[in-house]
Amino acid sequence: MTKRLVDRVAFINGGARGIGRASALRLASEGARVWITSRDTAAMDEALAEARAIGLSLNILEMDSSQSKAIRQAISHVHHTEGRIDILVNNAGGSLQTPGVFEQQSDEDWARVLDLNILGTVWACRYTLPLMKAQGGGRVVNVGSKAGQYGSRVTGANYAAAKGAVSALTRQLAMEYGPAGITVNCVCPGLVMTARTKARWEARKTPEERAQLLQSIPLRRHADPKDIAAAIAFLASDDSAFVTGITLDVNGGEVMA
């Protein structure tokens, strides 16, 4: 593994499971000092144990990514402890098990999903970007979704709208903060077979429907969290120094643009 991120400090919200954990381990393996946040302390302990088993270290903070104050306090703590934040990965998100059918989604379903997926990203950027600007640069990687680009076969309109907003926010912040040496990019995964996604996928689709979708992916498999982590590591590194404002589709060719 190349060491592209030595001495960089990375902050990953929603870093305890799935894509977040895979990204934390990938960035740490490339030399970064990684902080992960989650509301799930047991999952963070599992992430620490997995890191230690392969000779890596992570730092953990309990944080609710749908609460502005909690995000501000966590980012302030990491910045005070490390003296800088070089990489922000906005991974916290999800459909929160809300209905997949638009007419069944309540105002509360919309508010919860928007708070976590788009406002959580807004708040993390609001508190981190001025710090990056003051230190002379940084990398922001937002985790969007194929749902926000092309619609979803599993989640609903609230999640698709929230992730579409993440992509739009990415482009605007890339324009505003590029002169400060900060790149802002977005990774848009297709269906990633985490334990949570697999359970929802099997509950909402028949075996025939699942087989049909798999055949529509040219690479004939679903993504593993490590696939998304590799894309995030690229956008967090100097290998992408002249890349900003993009939404990078990582979906095995299921949708091409």
Which sequence positions are flagged as catalytic?
A: 159
Distance CA 66, CA 160 (A): 17
Query: Which residues make Cβ contacts (< 8 Å) with residue 99, sequence separation at least 6?
Result: 105, 109, 156
- Give the closest residue to 186 by CA, choosing from 207, 164, 208, 201: 164
Distance CA 188, CA 211 (A): 22
Alpha-carbon span 79 to 251, nearest angstrom: 34
List of E strands, 113-235: 138-143, 182-189
Which amino acid appears at position 236 of this protein?
A
Name residue 162's beta-bridge partners.
Answer: none
Beta strands in 63-210 (DSSP E): 87-90, 138-143, 182-189
